[in-house]
Each structure stands twice: as C-alpha cells, then as structure tokens.
Structure 1
Amino acid sequence: MRALTIRQPWAGAIVHQTKRVENRTWKLPAAHHGARVLIHAGAQLDKNAKIYGPDFGDYAAIVGVATITGYHWSDDGTCCEPWGFANAYHWTLADVTALPEPVSVKGALGFWTPSEDVVNAALRQDTAVAR
C-alpha cells in the first residue's frame, strides 16, 4: 500500500472535513487510479494556506485512508469549489476515513511506500472505524 504526503491544513481537511479533491501540478499515475492510499500529513504547514477552522495539529503522521477515484484538469478551479485550485489537476477522493490515532512516520514527497508495520498500524484503525 502506498502513502501520499499532503501538507497541513489540507491533510486534515481531507480526513476531518469535506475536502474531496487534492490539487496537484501533475497527472495521477495510472497505477494509482482506484487505489486505496494512506493520507500522510507532511512535517510542515503549507504557509500559503489560509486556515479556516481548527488547527489539526498532526504532522509527520499517517492521519487517514482514502480511495483515489480519478482526476481531471481545471483551468479555473470552479468545478471543485471550494477546494479546487485553478490551473491544477484535481485528484478526486472517496471513502475517506480519519484514523483515531495518527501513526507517526517520516514521509516523502509524492507517493511513497511505508514500512509494513506502519501500514498494519493504520489499517487496523481503518478496519476498526469501518465497523
């Protein structure tokens, strides 16, 4: 299972609010279309983001699990308001689950492969939440 690092506050907005689109400058690789991925909160805050609402406070940790259902390009971002950016690929997310206890781990840019222990710790929580 792969993980995707997303800076805060965006990772928190995905797992705790209604953000169901991830803005990227690059196309979704075909291998990840329809894939279930771990959502990793990066170690740094996106300094360009305006935080509305709570500071999710989880950094350098797996905070949730989601399915990437597809992607599309947007010139103006209006298709995915209020979360979609202009001039970006919008990766669409579904079946999002927040982990009750974030799993601390150093991530990497883009997709990366966490250790088996990290994956198992996250999936145990994902399964427990789904019940």
Structure 2
Amino acid sequence: MKALTIRQPWAGAIAHQMKRVENRSWKLPAKHEGARILIHAGAQPDRDAKLHGDHLDVYSAIVAVATITGCHWSDGWQCCGAWGFARTYHWTLADVTALPEPVPAKGRLGFWTPGDDVLAAVQAQLQEVAS
C-alpha cells in the first residue's frame, strides 16, 4: 500500500473533518486511481492554513486510510466546495477511515511505500476499527 504525505492541517481535515478532495499541482497518475492509500501527516505544517482544531497537530505519522476515486482539473471555480482550490488538480477521496492512534513514520514527496512495521501497525488498527 502506498502513502501520500499531506501537510497539516489538511491531513487531519481529511481524517476527521470530511475533507474529501486533495489539491495538487500535478495530475494523479492513472495507476493510482481507485487505490487505497495511507494519509500521512507531514513533518511541517502549512503555515498559510487558517484551520484549527483537534487532530490537526499530529506530525510525521499515518493518520488515515482513504481511496482515491478520481482526479480532475479545476479551472478557477470551486467545483469541490470550499475544500477545492482554483487552478489545481482535485484528487477525490472516499472511504476515509481515521486511525485511532497515529502511526509514526517519516514521509517523502509523492507516493511512497512505508516499511513493513508501519504497514503492520496500520493493518492492526484497521482490523480493530472494523470489529
């Protein structure tokens, strides 16, 4: 399973606040459409973000799992509601499951593959949530 690093507060908003679009400057590679991915909260916050609240102060950790359902370009209007930024690719997300406890992990740019220990810790929490 691949992971995607997203700065806070956006990673927390995906995990806990119904943000279902990720804004990117690059188009989603077709091989990732429909894929289940790990949402990783990066080590540094987005200093321009004005969002505050619980779960938004976790850094360098996997915080959720989501499915990427599609990708489209936004031509300057908010087709995905308040979360969709203008003149960016919108990666749409569904089936988001927040992890009860963040799993520490060092992130990377783009899609990356976490170590077996991180994947095992995430899988154990997903099984716990499902039961």
TM-score band, normalised by shorter chain: over 0.9
Quote the residue 1:15 is aligned against.
15
Partner of 1:59: 59
Match of 2:72 in 1: 72
Displacement, 1:36? 0.3
Q: Over aligned residue pairs, what C-alpha RMSD do you find? A: 1.1
Once the two structures are TM-superposed, the CA of residue 55 in structure 1 deviates from its matched residue by 5.7
Instruction: Tell me what 2:89 maps to.
Output: 89
- SS of the residue aligned with 1:26? coil
**CA deviation after TM superposition for structure 1 residue 124, in Å:** 1.4
Once the two structures are superposed, the pairs formed by residues 1-131 of structure 1 within 5 Å of their partners are 1-54=1-54, 56-131=56-131
Please tell me whether the aligned partners of residues 16 and 55 of structure 2 are also in contact (alpha carbons under 8 angstroms): no
Q: Deviations over 1:77-123 (max 9, x none)?
A: 41111100000000000000000010001110111010011011112
The separation in 2 between residues aligned to 1:32 and 1:104, in whole angstroms, is: 23
Alpha-carbon shift at residue 16 of structure 1 (Å): 0.5
TM-score by length of 1: 0.95
Q: What is the count of residue pairs matched by the alignment? A: 131
State the 4+ residue runs in structure 1 displaced beyond 4 angstroms: none
Q: Which runs of 5+ in 2 are unaligned?
A: none
Deviation at 1:128, TM superposition (A): 1.6
SS of match in other structure, 2:26 = coil
1-side partners of 2:103 and 2:52: how far apart?
25
Query: Whole-Å Cα distance in 1 between the matches of residues 71 and 4 of structure 2?
Result: 15
Q: Aligned partners of 2:50, 2:113: CA distance in 1, in Å?
A: 30
